[in-house]
Amino acid sequence: MTVSLEQLRRCHFAVDLGAARTRIYVKGAGLLVDQPSAAAVNTRTGALIAVGEFAEQMMGRTPDYIRVVRPIAGGTVVDIEMAQRMLRQLLGDKTRRALRRNLRLRAAACTPHDADPLAQRATTETLVGLGARKVELVDTLIAAAIGCGLPVERPEATMIMVCGAAATQVAVLSLGSIVTAERIPVGGEAVDHAIVQHLRHEHELILPSQSVRPLQLALSGNGLTAQGPAQTEIHGRDVATGLARSVRVDTAAVREAIQTPLTGVLDGIGKVLRACPPDLVADLADRGITMVGGSALLPGFDEMLREATGMPVHIAERPDICAAQGLGEMLEGRIEPLVLNPLAA
Ligand SMILES: Nc1ncnc2c1ncn2[C@@H]1O[C@H](COP(=O)(O)OP(=O)(O)OP(=O)(O)O)[C@@H](O)[C@H]1O
Ligand SMILES: [Mg+2]
């Protein structure tokens, strides 16, 4: 870990700025915000119309003077000012006032594993704009591992896979640090994109962005496995005529389309395992892989990993909020650092 637990314990709030969702943990109050990272702006006046859930619902349905923007893309803050405005709105006046009472407001944030200095700077700037005097950055992989209760501080290997919207990060952790890690730029968004492209090519249907999720749900029970319903009905717009049309889609074919992006993830896991020292790989054979992040819920994804790696695969209890919860645990001081004192034993 680059920052010490002591420094994190002094933070007052923590933010997980995700490409899909933003989560805010306030010390002593818990996880207060878990909303889509979206903001709707009136382009004539520059006024903010909505943030979070409301803004996401407006996506693709707005008149031309309202624009729905996503200030975070690919795991990085791309529009600092908009991210600040969104966070202010999401926190609400009451919480913001309470936070401002701290003379030296300190914030923590998690950043993707290989975030470059520019991306780290953007995250820091965003929180400084919210009034933080000091910002501590934590690797998402470590925050998520702590959030799902893995014994990261012990001298045994644990493997964590953070399946986000923009990317999938895989790491082997031991003694509170990352031994090997890989960030694969394939996540829930790439899976959604594969489904949209499939329907466009095979059925000449334009799928509204908001309909991808219902389709995934229709696949589920068993999405990537073969026991789901054979067909499901989808409504969209015809590519050529532009008229509304519905088609019956073969779920097996959709499953096939999803496989392509997921193969990249499997390659990444292989790479991490190959780079890992043999002693740690032996630990992993019993303990297996723990999946966190929203896309860990993609039906059948865990089964696919189990087949490909031959290792046990678990999904964390609340995979989507693990990273934010991990930050919270560190803020509240619930993590005991490892005391290396062999002489006392
Ligand atoms: N039940 C579900 N089934 C399939 N996919 C899901 C489910 N729930 C969420 N997702 C996917 O998970 C993704 C969001 O995950 P998460 O909230 O971890 O992302 P994030 O933290 O915002 O992204 P990142 O960490 O990559 O910046 C979305 O792409 C969404 O499509
Ligand atoms: Mg995330």
- Per residue in 31-46, pLDDT tens? 999 999 999 999 999 9
Q: What is the CATH number of domain 5-144+326-336?
A: 3.30.420.40
Instruction: Among 41-45, 235-239, 309-313, name the one with the lowest average pLDDT.
Output: 235-239
CATH 3.30.420.40, the chain: domain bounds? 5-144+326-336, 155-316
CB 162, CB 292: distance < 8 Å: yes
pLDDT at 255 over 50: yes
Å from CA of 36 to ligand 2 middle: 11
Most ligand 1 atoms within 8 A of CB, residue of 17, 196, 320 to mutate: 320
pLDDT averaged over every residue in the chain: 89
Rounded CA-CA distance 329/335 in Å is 6
pLDDT given at position 1:
46
**Do 68 and 56 contact (CB within 8 A), yes or no?**
yes
* CB of 146 closer than 8 Å to CB of 137: no
306: CA distance to ligand 1 center in Å? 20
pLDDT digits (tens, 9 = 90+) for 126-176: 999 999 999 999 999 999 999 999 988 888 899 999 999 999 999 999 988
Q: Which ligand is closest to the CA of 296, given by its number? A: 1
Residue 166 Cβ contacting ligand 1 at under 6 Å: yes
Is 226 annotated to bind a ligand? Reply is no
Pick one of 1.10.10.10, 3.20.20.140, 3.40.50.700, 3.30.420.40 as the CATH number of 155-316: 3.30.420.40
Measured in Å, residue 154 CA sits from the centre of ligand 2 at 24
State both tokens at 73. Answer: 């893309």
Pocket test for ligand 1, best of 213, 220, 295 (most atoms within 8 A of CB): 295
Question: What is the rounded CA–CA span in Å between residue 172 and residue 156?
Answer: 10
- Block residue for tokens 């859930």: 53
17 in contact with ligand 1, CB cutoff 6 A: no
Tell me the mean pLDDT in the region 298-307.
88
Cite the beta strand spans of 113-210 per DSSP E.
Answer: 134-139, 158-163, 168-174, 177-184, 205-206
